[in-house]
């Protein structure tokens, strides 16, 4: 049986050195006890939070597409999202609600949260994230329609700038039947009633 080889990161990895330099520029001493491993931790953390760049989102869906005559709305709601704002590298987090109306094909339900995760694990703005999820589903499944709503709290607004800790941002992308048909759109929105409205 072949032995699994686990590659260690090269000692020449420049990322921790860059974080160490940043700490110095902030006025800190990266050699003090509490910060000794911070450069490595930050490097590992940022790589994890941006691992979506190293995953093809369409491949996730292609693995679990099945022919099925079901033609009613499919909704996966309250999908937790965590992402980094590309303007400040500060997190935003919240919930995504995703629906599609099949057109002869369905996708494994677990793949929808996985798709959201891949796009959210990139430097993002919420508007783009919403559109990317919707367009990817539309491209792979060719359904009658796709709807995506994301509600999120942006720490760049809470911690700096306007400092509004309760200002949620809500974005939506409605494609196909959800854009054309007000009844489908209304049904989706009523079924995913935003948590803060309950």
88 is catalytic: yes
Name the catalytic one among 20, 85, 117, 132.
85
Alpha-carbon distances, residue 177 vs 38, 62, 138 (angstroms)? 49, 22, 11
Name the catalytic one among 63, 68, 87, 127.
87
Virtual CA dihedral for 182, 183, 186, 187, nearest 10 degrees?
Answer: -150
Virtual CA dihedral for 69, 136, 195, 193, nearest 10 degrees?
Answer: -50
Residue 109 phi/psi, 5-degree rounding, is: -60, -35
Name the catalytic one among 88, 135, 158, 187.
88
86 is catalytic: yes
97 is catalytic: no
Name the catalytic one among 97, 117, 124, 126.
126
62 is catalytic: no
127 is catalytic: no
Cβ pair 75, 188 in contact under 8 A: yes
Burial class for 88, CB neighbours closer than 10 Å (0-12, 13-18, 19+): middle
Name the catalytic one among 28, 156, 158, 187.
156
Name the catalytic one among 63, 68, 80, 86.
86
Which residues, at least 6 apart from 173, have a Cβ–Cβ distance to it below 8 Å?
Answer: 130, 131, 133, 134, 135, 146, 147, 148
Q: Which residues are tagged catalytic?
A: 85-88, 126, 154, 156
């Amino acid at each position: 049986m072949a032995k699994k080889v686990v590659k260690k990161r090269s000692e020449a990895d420049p990322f921790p050195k860059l974080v160490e330099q940043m700490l110095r520029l902030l006025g800190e001493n990266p050699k003090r006890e509490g910060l000794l491993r911070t450069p490595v931790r930050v490097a590992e953390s940022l790589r994890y939070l941006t691992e979506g760049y190293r995953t093809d989102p369409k491949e996730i869906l292609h693995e679990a597409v099945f022919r099925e005559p079901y033609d009613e709305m499919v909704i996966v709601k309250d999908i937790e999202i965590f992402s980094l704002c590309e303007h400040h590298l500060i997190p935003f987090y919240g919930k995504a609600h995703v629906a599609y109306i099949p057109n002869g094909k369905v996708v494994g339900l677990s793949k929808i949260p996985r798709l959201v995760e891949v796009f959210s694990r990139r430097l993002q703005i919420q508007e783009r994230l919403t559109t990317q999820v919707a367009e990817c589903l539309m491209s792979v499944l060719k359904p009658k329609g796709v709807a995506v709503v994301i509600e999120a709290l942006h720490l760049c607004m809470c911690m700096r700038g306007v400092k509004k800790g309760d200002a949620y941002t809500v974005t939506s992308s409605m494609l196909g039947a959800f854009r054309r048909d007000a009844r489908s759109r209304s049904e989706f929105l009523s079924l995913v009633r935003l948590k803060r409205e309950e």
